[in-house]
Structure 1
Amino acid sequence: MAAGSRGAPSMTNSDVVELADGRASLVVSPREGAAILRYDALRPGRAPTPLIKPSQGMLKFGSQLLVPWSNRISGGGFEFDGRFHAIEPNVEGEPFPLHGDAFQRPWRLTQRTGTEMELALEDGAIGPYRYHAGVRYALEDGALSAVLAVENRAAVRLPYGLGFHPWFPHRPRTLLQASAQRVWLEDERHLPTGVVPLASRPDWDFSHAAPLPDAWVNNAFEGWNGRASIVQPDDAIVVTVEASPSLNVFVLYSPARDADFFCFEPVSHPVDAHHGGGLTTLEQGGSTSARLRLRWDEL
């Protein structure tokens, strides 16, 4: 990844880094896991319109990076190549290790212009994982591009996953369009119990733009084509989501009809994939990457 450095300010350890291109602004916190704090649409004569919504919960920002895996790992760890790798829970109140550790570590700003930035995490370490990660954020005509990469620096090969965890505003008229083929059901521990055709759950079928369910949903959807739309009539905006082919699963989290947020998470594998499959095996020194693009347009 190489964002040009022309006109780049000197690198500092500031709490936030801001980008803008006239149609959108972006605020990122290197110290807080390279999380996106704000991504706003800029329109003449109007206040900035939040396109993502910072959370007030455990993941308290607008969008987190998921490295070296997404979601939960059960069983106290996982077996790989005939060896059991233990992983302790990493989030208070959670019985299972969750979302890796990249979102919990400070990243270093390495390059920046007015519309692009690159950040690096050089000491990722959780359970058996030792890795280097990098992310490049860029704005272009209001669209946000995020490219996330990871390199295995452990002494053994290991299974890796990547993902993005953006939070979006949920209003009474919000609509979601995202085509999938199957959905994983979950138990009370938020672990998968089995996968069913999406046709068996018409209330979770978003092949055409539809409101979010009234009741709790926290499920992984497989067979996603990497495109989605989030329609926000109250803001006269539609957000288009485009993900690289490696991100062929999305996790939808919407706790209730009256919640003012929901999560649409493009990820590379289902929940608890260390015990089921879908991860990418990386040899020592091997790497993989994923890309997410968010674009907003007027309705």
Structure 2
Amino acid sequence: MEHTSVLLKESIDALAIRSNGIYVDGTLGRGGHSSEILKQLDSGHLYAFDRDEAAIKASDQRLSGISDHYTIIRSNFASLKAELAKHDVKHIDGLLLDLGVSSPQFDDASRGFSYRFDAPLDMRMDQRQSLSAYEVVNEWDYHDLVSIFFRYGEEKFAKQIARRIEQVRDQQPIRTTFELVDVIKSALPMKVLNTKGHPAKKIFQAIRIAVNDELQELHIVLHDALSMLNPQGRIAVITFQSLEDRIVKDTFKEYSSVPKIDKRIPLLPEQLETPPYRLVCRKPILPGSEELMENNRAHSAKLRVIERIR
């Protein structure tokens, strides 16, 4: 199961890696980005986070052939500050986040991430956690389902789909991905089913985000990492959907902008200073035409970068 890292060169270049720095890959996956970071480190160190045991095993083997200047931490990146504190790390020189679900996770039918394969409803990035897609689909209240379908999937037929799920599961549990796809299709008007794109895509995305608490974890890691960043340190984030991109964009804007203050109020000396962070690029970096041709999963990717300047 091959996984091609999206925006690999662009994201590594954006970090402006220093050979003696402390860097974090918050989304280790199959080690594509981590490998490139590690190649540029001399006396520095890489800390790589992932919840997926299979990904950790594969990446550990890959990284060990490059250098021993790395530590893999089996945890989600929201625990960045606490986990790094265990290694006496309080400041970092860079963080990379690739927020796409890795190809092996999608392509492994048993994981239940994809509507393309029939598998038990799962979608857990960390197999140790109890909450799975099965519990969300079969046990969550109608109103909770509507909420996540609207918020995380931006699905305009959220109410109809949630109501249909409720009707079906009252008769028998919805156990597999294909069963869920059939339920979703049965709730949608024919004109939607005939449009481009898979009718279950938004609902599967919403359930996956809810199972893994992805958006809340993104909020946490961005604020923690920004507070830990050394001067001239950078954070590079690759997003693949609008909800994540909005969080990154708004957070970076908040930290790099001068707060708006009523002109009638006298300014304090610290309020006259420029913000301690700057956007490395005003607009997101997008994949080039060559990458788009070679990797279909790059089409929705956006890279945003911020730097601490003081």
> Could you say which TM-score interval applies, normalised by the shorter chain?
under 0.3
> TM-score, length-normalised on structure 2?
0.26
Choose 1 or 2 for highest CA Rg: 2
> TM-score, length-normalised on structure 1?
0.27
